[in-house]
Amino acid sequence: MEKWALVFPGQGSQYVGMGADLYGEFKAFREVFSRAQDITGIDIAKICLEGPKDVLDQTIHTQLAVLTFELAAYDIFKGHIGDAAPTVAAGHSLGEYSALYAAGSLGPEEAITIVQARAKRHQEALPPGAGAMAAILGLDYEAVAKVCTTCSLPGEPLDLANLNAPNQIVISGNAQAVQRVGEMAREAGIKIFVPLPISVPCHSRLLSEAAALFGEDLAKTDFNPCLIPVVSNYDPCRLHSPDCSRELLRRQIVSPVRWQETVERITAMGVTTVVEIGPRRVLSSLIKNINRQMRLLYVGDGESLLKTAASLQCR
């Protein structure tokens, strides 16, 4: 039997109108959003479908919107694939919570509740505009680390946030420091510099206090044993379990997302196909740059749902 993995993107995959056709077609999809509204007190469906963009892009809304979409899309997908079952799951940053849901470690109420707490800790960590994130293409790990050191000043730190793929790294930290990197991009040899639509400096030391507070939230959350392995962002050598998930998720707040190593770990487990479930197809291109032999499928709307389900069932 073919071995395949589930992966879920995080913040940055959102857009106004996400999930419109699935929401209209599937009652089960709508029910997940209704339950999320009951839990959070926020009309997440309206924010996803109508925006406006500046509201959707606020971290407190973005994290809930992306998570709820992914939980709902996974539920629909699971109902379309019959006996086909993934070998392993992983998520990029916020997507790790969707992976834990798919693995049975978190129920829908637990996943939505803890992500709302996570978003709140992120949102309240810094004043609006104090932090920023940007993607850098064209430099390797060592070169980007050197740029971060050059552009950091006392009280204005920069960190490597996402080690996404060869020559694709995201930086995070003080907004002025990120801006300095953009200003010296050509001189530093950066081919592409892209500020990200994320309102807080995720995976940076600026969130140390938020991580400590989030640890208190995690202590109240129940985790079940995973039905399939879930690879950790913080340390891809470690798999989630009720004994370590709280530590792994707390550390994820201030540590880089080691996505390239995650994909390499999945590959080492014999996986030959990856199914990405999310509002937008963003992880597939990263995976292609890490392992060109990997077969890549996607679920993000009604057409891709049916196409991917059929592809899995006929192999």
Q: How far apart are CA 92 and CA 232, in angstroms?
A: 9
**Mode of pairing for the β-strands spanning 273-277 and 295-299:** parallel
- Helices (H) and strands (E) counted in the chain, each on its own, are 15, 8
Contacts of 205 (CB under 8 A, 6+ apart): 157, 159, 173, 254
Please choose, from the candidates 310, 307, 299, 308, the residue with its C-alpha nearest in 3D space to the C-alpha of residue 18.
299
304 is catalytic: no
What is the CA angle 215-217-219, rounded to 5?
A: 70
Q: How far apart are CA 39 and CA 20, in angstroms?
A: 21
| φ, ψ at 216 (rounded to 5°) | -70, -35
CA 200 to mean position of chain CA atoms: 14
| φ, ψ at 299 (rounded to 5°) | -130, 115
For residues 145 and 181, is the Cβ–Cβ distance under 8 A?
no
- H/E stretch holding 313 reads helix 302-313
61 is catalytic: no
DSSP 81: S
Instruction: Identify the active-site residue in 13, 61, 93, 204.
Output: 93
- 214 HSE (CA, 13 A, CB side): 28
* Max intra-chain CA distance, the chain: 58
Instruction: Identify the active-site residue in 61, 92, 122, 203.
Output: 203
DSSP 225: P
Q: Tell me which residues are annotated as active site.
A: 93, 203
